Structure 1
């Protein structure tokens, strides 16, 4: 006794095709991606400036104290500063990828950040210096920011793009 055969299709099912966007929709999408890239660059500059200001301000406070209060305030400033740098860098990386749609978008925030940080370590004509060699807090913030940018960039390059 044999059972009747069930017809089986040999071709895989094709997903429904999406309607192609109009030229106006493509132009709007491109303009929004460019605007997102510009905002990402300026956010990278702003993030670096805020880190330099915080590092200099907090280090001056720590230097004005002595003994146990100096140690406690220094540890607190490092803990708060590093946590803020890591969180803001991760958020900036996420914004960069979502706003531009590119996996390489973290570079738009990281490059200006590095330029501003390097500029903070160069003495001006007047003799001012934002990051001095004994500013341990500033060095901790630089290391935390650089490592976080590297990790966020690596994760964005390795993970596959979302299905649209």
Structure 2
């Protein structure tokens, strides 16, 4: 006598469903959107850090704002700009799988910095003054971070071909 058939044995096996092919596009668009939002947030944060001065820590203990103090400029915005821009560039290219994804965050960051450097307040002051060396170096190095990442992406196929052909030792 045989055992009664279970429910799994009575139903014919179904082939696994194919995943929807549109997910690739959704992930690419979402990756670019996240990279653009991250660029917007970090650019504003970097601009705020350009005016941070050494006296800010002492007035913070008194309950005052970091930006109302004196002292020398602290160049913390420079490494933050370099690191954040490299991470955003890596994220955009890695998530989308496309090199063009580097363009929107780079363009947005550059436009925000140019707008901040060229915009006057209602009192006639510039948002980023010409005597704020931290802001000027941050704009230069932040844009160079995107440029260096882009340049390294351009060189990647050349480096792979050079090692495949055995020319890497002779260069």
Give ranges in structure 1 of 5+ residues lacking alignment: 1-20
Secondary structure at the counterpart of residue 100 of structure 2? coil
Check whether the contact 1:89–1:149 (CA below 8 A) recurs between aligned residues.
yes
Residue of structure 1 in register with 2:156 after alignment: 159
Query: Normalization by structure 1: what TM-score?
Result: 0.69
Which of 36, 46, 49 in structure 2 is aligned with 1:41? 36
Given the alignment of the two structures, is residue 53 of structure 1 paired with residue 26 of structure 2, yes or no?
A: no
In 2, Cα distance between equivalents of 1:128 and 1:150: 30
Task: Trace 1:138-153 onto structure 2 (pairs within 5 A).
Answer: 138-153=135-150
Bigger CA radius of gyration: 2
Q: Cα RMSD between the aligned structures?
A: 2.5
Secondary structure at the counterpart of residue 104 of structure 1? helix
Which of 95, 105, 108 in structure 1 is aligned with 2:104? 108
Higher relative CO (CA 8 A, sep ≥ 6), structure 1 or 2? 1
Check whether the contact 1:117–1:142 (CA below 8 A) recurs between aligned residues.
yes
Give ranges in structure 2 of 5+ residues lacking alignment: 1-16, 57-66, 158-171
Secondary structure at the counterpart of residue 151 of structure 2? helix
In 2, Cα distance between equivalents of 1:158 and 1:96: 18
Following TM superposition, the consecutive aligned residue runs of length 4 or more in structure 1 with deviations greater than 6 angstroms are: none
Q: By how many angstroms is 1:145 displaced? A: 0.2
In 2, Cα distance between equivalents of 1:23 and 1:124: 53
Q: By how many angstroms is 1:125 displaced? A: 3.9
In 1, Cα distance between equivalents of 2:45 and 2:137: 14
**1:22-49 deviations in Å (ceiling 9; x for gaps):** 571x201110110101111121222211
**1:100-138 deviations in Å (ceiling 9; x for gaps):** 111122112111101111111111345353201111111
Which of 28, 46, 70 in structure 2 is aligned with 1:64? 70
Residue of structure 2 in register with 1:93 after alignment: 89
